[in-house]
């Protein structure tokens, strides 16, 4: 049974190293698929819906995960060029600008399936949400306007923004304050604000949670948000809010560090989670 559907974009990332360039699969879904594979999560429980180009690169982008909807476009794959520090310096989007193709969930998905929406255009998000009744988690996309965000807000269960997005959208960086602002539009909304090396904040109508991040040697922040959100949503199915926030923070921190391979070391993850657990702050509004 599919427990989590990942919907987003995939592309080729080119990293500049002086005069040299290295390439790897990129986009929010590729990052999530890589992290989930290292975490040992069941491939048969995770589906992918995405749109890619039709050049020779597309078949390298799926990393062995089950792909339930691959929409091929008659263009090269998207490419993002990054500096050595992981800062995007150029983005060629060949697959629509933005795409108006409606993504359709297979009828076999049940309401218990979680839907994680990454960086896809707002019209595609709206199309998905008209046919879906399960838990929906969204990483805010810079492709959306504030108006488009508020239009889909009533159908969201979880909105994830980073600190810069929170400040730009709401003039506020605290999850509890943002949740209070959004509650008139969606009484049941939960909000997570990710804070890079400082961890994250979670808030809904019932509680506020602050989770610090473990100290790591960060190589690049790219991919951290998608890995965090998808891990939280997947874990939340059975492990509750606080434990899932801790695991998601550990997974994202490890994913962007020089020790990414340790995601497959369950003892390492368990020790980090045990270390962070006493540092978590939980309060009731």
Q: 204-224 pLDDT, tens per residue?
A: 999 999 999 988 887 777 778
- Using pLDDT thresholds of 50, 70 and 90, give the confidence band for residue 101: low
Q: Which residue has the higher pLDDT, 190 or 107?
A: 190
- What percent of the chain clears pLDDT 90, i.e. is strictly above it? 24
Q: Is 28 exposed, middle or buried (0-12, 13-18, 19+ CB in 10 A)?
A: buried
At 32-70, the pLDDT tens digits run: 777 777 787 766 677 777 666 555 565 666 555 555 555
DSSP state for residue 56 in the 8-state scheme: T
- Could you report the per-residue pLDDT of 218-247, keeping only the tens digit for each? 777 777 888 888 888 888 878 889 999 999
Q: In terms of residues, how long is the chain?
A: 285
Which pLDDT band, with edges at 50, 70 and 90, does 72 fall under? Answer: very low
Q: Which residue, chain included where needed, has tokens 């602050």? A: 210
Question: Structure tokens of 40?
Answer: 């040992």
| Both tokens assigned to 126 | 């709206």
Nearest one of 49, 47, 45 to 72, comparing CA atoms = 49
Higher pLDDT, 51 or 263: 263
Residue 83 CA to residue 160 CA, distance in Å, equals: 25
Q: Residue 263: is its pLDDT beyond 80?
A: yes
pLDDT of residue 73 exceeding 60, the answer is no
Strands 136-139 vs 114-117: parallel, antiparallel or unpaired: parallel
Residue 139 three-state SS? strand
pTM: 0.80
DSSP structure class, residue 226: H
Q: What is the mean pLDDT of residues 70-81?
A: 50
H or E element in which residue 47 lies? strand 46-53
Predicted pLDDT at 140: 79
pLDDT digits (tens, 9 = 90+) for 141-180: 776 788 888 888 888 888 988 898 899 889 999 999 999 9
Q: Which residue shows structure tokens 């159908």?
A: 155
């Amino acid at each position: 049974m599919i427990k989590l559907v990942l919907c987003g974009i995939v592309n080729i990332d080119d990293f500049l190293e002086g005069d040299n360039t290295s390439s790897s699969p990129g986009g929010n879904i590729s990052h999530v698929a890589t992290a989930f594979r290292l975490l040992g999560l069941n491939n048969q429980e995770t589906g992918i819906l995405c749109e890619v180009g039709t050049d020779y690169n597309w078949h390298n982008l799926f990393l062995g995960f089950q792909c339930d909807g691959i929409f091929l476009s008659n263009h090269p794959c998207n490419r993002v060029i990054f500096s050595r520090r992981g800062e995007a310096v150029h983005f060629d989007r060949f697959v629509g600008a933005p795409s108006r193709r409606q993504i359709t969930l297979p009828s076999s998905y049940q309401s218990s399936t979680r839907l994680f929406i990454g960086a896809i255009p707002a019209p595609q998000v709206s199309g998905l949400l008209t046919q879906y009744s399960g838990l929906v988690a969204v990483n805010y996309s810079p492709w959306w306007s504030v108006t488009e965000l508020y239009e889909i807000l009533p159908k969201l269960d979880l909105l994830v923004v980073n600190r810069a997005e929170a400040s730009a959208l709401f003039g506020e960086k605290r999850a509890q304050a943002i949740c209070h602002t959004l509650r008139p539009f969606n009484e049941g909304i939960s909000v997570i604000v990710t804070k890079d090396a400082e961890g994250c904040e979670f808030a809904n109508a019932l509680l506020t949670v602050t989770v610090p991040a473990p100290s790591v040697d960060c190589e690049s922040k790219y991919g951290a948000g998608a890995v965090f959100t998808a891990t939280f949503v997947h874990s939340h199915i059975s492990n509750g809010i606080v434990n899932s926030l801790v695991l998601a923070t550990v997974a994202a921190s490890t994913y962007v560090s020089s020790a990414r391979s340790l995601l497959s070391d369950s003892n390492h993850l368990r020790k980090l989670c045990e270390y962070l657990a006493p540092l978590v702050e939980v309060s009731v509004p």
